[in-house]
Structure 1
Amino acid sequence: MGTTQVEAAQEPKYWHLKTVLGDALDSEFAVGEVLPNERELAARFGVARATLRQALEQLELEGRLQRRRGVGTTVAPPRIGVSVGPSQGSWPGEGDDAWHAVGCVEAPAPAAVARLFGPGYDAGRSVHTIRRVRTSDAQPVATDLLYVPRASVPALSQLLTPAAHPLAVLRELHRLELENEDRAVELGSARAEDAKQLERLPGAPVLVLTTRYHSGGRVAAVSVATYRADTCRLTFGDSGAMEITHHDTASGEDDRAQAS
């Protein structure tokens, strides 16, 4: 098997251009400003338009640029800071109106989620699955699937309308005493339904935050939240909660909201 001489490998031209463009974005353009068209940019930097497109696509992937239909390519605002700290001690949707429920179904949880409920969990049983969406400046930045076994909400009425279903599940879940929660974060790829909710293409990079909520000595609910990797960044601190920071580019102030 041959070897690859990494040290001898030359940096692709589009990658170098990406760095140059990134510096220009920081020094010459404001957030929301529309970039010149491809022809002008290619002439300015002395590159082929194909090379320019590769550099622009990479900057968009990294969240530095946004392509808006009918507007063009604009400078993206700073990523939303997602601080993952110690447990806040509250259920999803409890005292938090940042997430909006968009549907609820009853079906067996995916195998990977079923395993998170621990030994003895009947993977074939249906669970209440609530889909929620979070937006910032009218743009979706995260989608969440909250899995709640029937055993966690035994008093839930079976006669529910589709609109009332997610609210009723959350209401019953909030009646339980939350003992603790644990979280894990990983980089992933957007699945088809998540990509649709986030207005991204399937396979786009995402940050997946998985949370297990414990009550009565067992896992009472599991949340799998998917954040756009191009608009979100992770921060770690001792705030005791997961904090979402919305950057107000007009005033320069931060609007902080606590998330479950």
Structure 2
Amino acid sequence: MGTTQLETVPEPKYWHLRTVLSEALDSEFSVGEILPNERDLAARFGVARATLRQALEQLELEGRLQRRRGVGTTVAPPRVGVAVGTEQHAWPGAEGDAWEPADCATAAPPAAVAGMLETRKDEQVHTVRRSLVTNGQPVAAELLYVPLSSVPASAAADAASGAARAHAVLQGLRHLDLEGQDRAVELGSARAEDAKELDRLPGAPVLVVTTRFFARGRTAAVSVATYRADTCRLTFADSGGVEIHHDAS
């Protein structure tokens, strides 16, 4: 097999257009502004509409643009920071938490979560569903798994269902002394239920942040938060260490 000299490979037209469009977004458009239609944009830059679509799709993937049904293509707001390695520990639902509780049910968690919680695979736990919305756009969805031993079912009995029950479970957690937490981040693909909530197509790239909360010498809760990869960026505290794990295959 022969080798390819990269310097002899011409830049694809759509990639050059992507660069030109990116510069135009910085200088001519503001966040939330609707771009001209494809026909006008193609005419302005002297390219075929197929080339234009490739460039727009790339910018959407990078989080620079948003395509909304019935609205058109708009300039996306800045990416949301996802803190990793921070030394600030707090229970979900604490003051300043921007997540909105949506629902709460009692069910057996996925096997991997049961392993982290050290519960039986068929043992039911509180499952709190929350969402994070920025600038009117859903950017993340979370499932928070809380063993009944951390927050007994009786503590949430007065709130039969929905957001009220979720709030009751979160309030119960805050009565525990938080001893610490750790996080792991993985790149994944949006499952059908996540895609629907995040207004993405199934299989779209996402960041999956798994957080374990410790109290009473054990794991008191596990959060699995799914972030849109096109709207989020990772931020690291100065003292936050980064561990890189290689799966044997």
Partner residue, 1:206:
206
Partner residue, 2:215:
215
SS at match of 2:66: strand
Aligned equivalents of 1:44, 1:239: Cα separation in 2 = 48
Task: Normalising by structure 1, report the TM-score.
Answer: 0.82
Question: Is residue 2:138 matched to residue 1:161?
Answer: no
Distance 1:73 1:239, change over 3 A: farther
Partner residue, 1:92:
92
Q: What is the RMSD computed on CA atoms of the aligned residues?
A: 2.3
Unaligned runs of 5+ in 2: 241-249
Aligned equivalents of 1:5, 1:121: Cα separation in 2 = 54
Partner residue, 1:57:
57
Deviation at 1:123, TM superposition (A): 2.0
Could you list the per-position Cα deviations for residues 204-260 of structure 1 after superposition, in whole angstroms to 9, with x for gaps in the alignment?
Answer: 2222211100111111100011112222222222499xxxxxxxxxxxxxxxxxxxx
Deviation at 1:102, TM superposition (A): 0.9
Partner residue, 1:144:
142
Deviation at 1:82, TM superposition (A): 2.7
> Which of 126, 129, 145 is the matching residue for 1:128?
126
Deviation at 1:157, TM superposition (A): 4.4
Aligned equivalents of 1:83, 1:217: Cα separation in 2 = 24
Percent of residue pairs bearing the same amino acid type: 67
Unaligned runs of 5+ in 1: 241-260
Partner residue, 1:257:
none
Distance 1:171 1:83, change over 3 A: closer
Distance 1:197 1:3, change over 3 A: farther
Deviation at 1:29, TM superposition (A): 2.3
Task: Normalising by structure 2, report the TM-score.
Answer: 0.85
- Report if the CA contact (8 A) 1:155-1:172 is conserved: no
- Report if the CA contact (8 A) 1:156-1:169 is conserved: no
Distance 1:239 1:32, change over 3 A: farther
| Counterpart residue identity of residue 137, structure 2 | Q
- Report if the CA contact (8 A) 1:156-1:168 is conserved: no
| Counterpart residue identity of residue 5, structure 1 | T
Deviation at 1:6, TM superposition (A): 6.9
| Counterpart residue identity of residue 150, structure 2 | S
* Greater Cα shift, 101-110 or 89-98: 89-98
* Greater Cα shift, 154-163 or 102-111: 154-163
Deviation at 1:126, TM superposition (A): 1.1
Aligned equivalents of 1:6, 1:171: Cα separation in 2 = 61
